[in-house]
C-alpha cells in the first residue's frame, strides 16, 4: 500500500526547474544523471540518460527474480503474481538489499569530466561513497541549501542554494 500511494503521488508531481535545467545541459554536454530518487521527474523533465540507483516507482519486479521487471501505472495487488508465480513487488531497493547498479554508477563517476551533486547530505551509502571514484582534477559542483562536508575533495565549487536556484546558477556558468 505504501508504494501504491507513492506511485499515485509521483504521477501527480511535475518536474521543477532543476530537472528541466539538467536536461538543458544535454545541448552542450553528454549528461549522465545518477539518482537515488525513484520518481520519473528527470525523464519527464527531458533528461535522456538516467541511472536510478534505488529503483523506479513505475516498475515492478518478481519477488523471486529481480531481473523480471515490467512497467506499472496502477496499484500492485496482493496475489498478483509475476510469470514465475511469485508476488509482484515494487522495483525498489529496500533497506539491507544490494544496490545492483552501484558498479555502473562507479564507472560513470570514473569517466566524468565535470561532476554536479545536487540536494544530498552524503549520508546514504553506498551512493554517498561514489564521489571517491571521481578523477581528482575535475570540477565538482555541490548544490545544496546546506553544503555537506566535502573538504577532502579537490576542485569543489559550492553553490549553497536550493536545487532550482543552484541549477540556474550552474547553467549560467556552464552554458
Give the pLDDT confidence of 64-108 residue by residue, as tens digits: 999 999 999 999 999 999 999 999 999 999 999 999 999 999 999
Residue 43 grid coordinates: 525523464
The mean pLDDT of 28-32, rounded to a whole number, is 97
Closest CA to 54 of 22, 95, 111: 95
Residue 174 grid coordinates: 556552464
pLDDT of residue 89: 97
- The yes-or-no answer on residue 152 being catalytic is no
Q: 0.75 cut: is pTM over it?
A: yes
Please count the other Cβ atoms lying within 10 Å of the Cβ belonging to residue 163: 19
Q: Strand 140-143 to strand 88-92: parallel, antiparallel, or no bridges (unpaired)? A: unpaired
pLDDT of residue 35: 97
Residues 174, 114 contacting (CB under 8 angstroms): yes
pLDDT of residue 21: 98
Query: What is the pLDDT confidence band of residue 123, given thresholds at 50, 70 and 90?
Result: very high
Closest CA to 36 of 108, 113, 118: 118
What's the whole-number average pLDDT of the chain? Answer: 97
Q: Where are the alpha helices (DSSP H) in the chain?
A: 2-12, 17-24, 41-45, 102-110, 163-174
- Report the alpha-carbon distance of residue 175 to residue 170 in Å, rounded: 8
pLDDT of residue 163: 97
pLDDT of residue 132: 97
Given the residues 42, 52, 54, 152, select the one marked as catalytic. 54
pLDDT of residue 79: 96
pLDDT of residue 109: 98
The mean pLDDT of 117-129, rounded to a whole number, is 93
Amino acid at each position: 500500500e505504501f508504494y501504491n500511494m507513492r506511485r499515485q503521488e509521483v504521477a501527480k508531481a511535475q518536474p521543477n526547474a532543476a530537472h528541466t535545467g539538467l536536461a538543458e545541459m544535454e545541448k552542450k554536454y553528454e549528461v549522465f544523471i545518477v539518482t537515488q530518487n525513484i520518481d520519473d521527474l528527470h525523464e519527464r523533465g527531458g533528461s535522456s540518460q538516467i541511472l536510478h540507483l534505488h529503483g523506479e516507482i513505475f516498475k515492478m519486479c518478481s519477488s523471486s527474480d529481480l531481473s523480471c521487471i515490467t512497467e506499472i501505472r496502477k496499484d500492485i495487488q496482493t496475489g498478483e503474481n509475476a510469470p514465475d508465480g511469485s508476488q509482484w513487488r515494487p522495483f525498489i531497493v529496500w533497506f539491507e538489499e544490494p544496490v545492483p547498479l552501484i558498479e555502473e554508477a562507479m564507472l560513470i563517476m570514473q569517466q566524468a569530466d565535470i561532476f554536479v551533486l545536487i540536494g544530498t547530505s552524503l549520508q546514504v551509502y553506498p551512493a554517498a561513497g561514489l564521489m571517491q571514484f571521481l578523477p581528482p582534477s575535475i570540477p565538482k559542483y555541490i548544490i545544496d541549501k546546506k553544503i555537506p562536508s566535502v573538504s577532502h575533495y579537490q576542485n569543489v565549487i559550492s553553490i549553497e542554494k536550493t536545487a532550482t536556484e543552484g541549477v540556474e546558477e550552474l547553467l549560467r556558468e556552464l552554458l
